[in-house]
């Protein structure tokens, strides 16, 4: 029974992240699952999905870890060197995959991955706030 439940949790969490327009925090995922599984199971499933190259983590400007579905990633090639936008009003984190910043490091530094989070106001909040 435990294996079935874990598979169901994995399927539901991946479906949530696939249909979400923004990255979701562990707490948001837990609320949306409505008691399907406990907090520890959610953490384990998220870790497994990340290791499988299906999702990636984003740490927002408040230090909260959010999760988003990967596009074009595989277990062997798991890269998310794109921008993440953190709205200061609604707190949503959005992957902006079509913008890749150019990073220039000093000599003898080697970058394997990076996490760029831009803080500001998203288009939805811009119109709500009348900006």
Binding residues for Fe cation: 97
Q: Which helix (H) or strand (E) holds 49?
A: helix 39-51
As annotated, the binding site includes 87, 90, 97, 122, 125
DSSP summary character for residue 35: T
CB-based contact 116:101 (threshold 8 Å): yes
CB-based contact 117:60 (threshold 8 Å): yes
CA 6 to CA 119: how far, in whole Å?
35
As annotated, the binding site for Zn(2+) includes 87, 90, 122, 125
- For the four alpha carbons of 62, 66, 68 and 73, in that order, the dihedral sign comes to positive
User: What is the signed CA dihedral for 62, 64, 70, 71, rounded to 10 degrees?
Assistant: -20
């Amino acid at each position: 029974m435990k294996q079935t439940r874990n598979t169901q949790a994995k399927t539901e969490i991946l479906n949530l992240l696939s249909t979400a327009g923004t990255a979701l925090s562990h707490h948001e995922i837990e609320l949306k699952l409505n008691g399907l599984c406990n907090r520890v199971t959610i953490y384990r499933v998220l870790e497994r999905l990340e290791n499988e190259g299906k999702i990636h983590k984003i740490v927002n400007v408040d230090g909260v870890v959010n999760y988003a579905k990967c596009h074009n990633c595989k277990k062997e090639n798991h890269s998310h060197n794109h921008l993440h936008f953190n709205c200061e009003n609604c707190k949503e984190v959005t992957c902006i995959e079509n913008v890749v910043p150019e990073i220039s490091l000093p000599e003898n530094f080697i970058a394997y991955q990076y996490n760029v989070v831009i803080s500001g106001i998203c288009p939805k909040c811009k119109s709500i706030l009348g900006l």
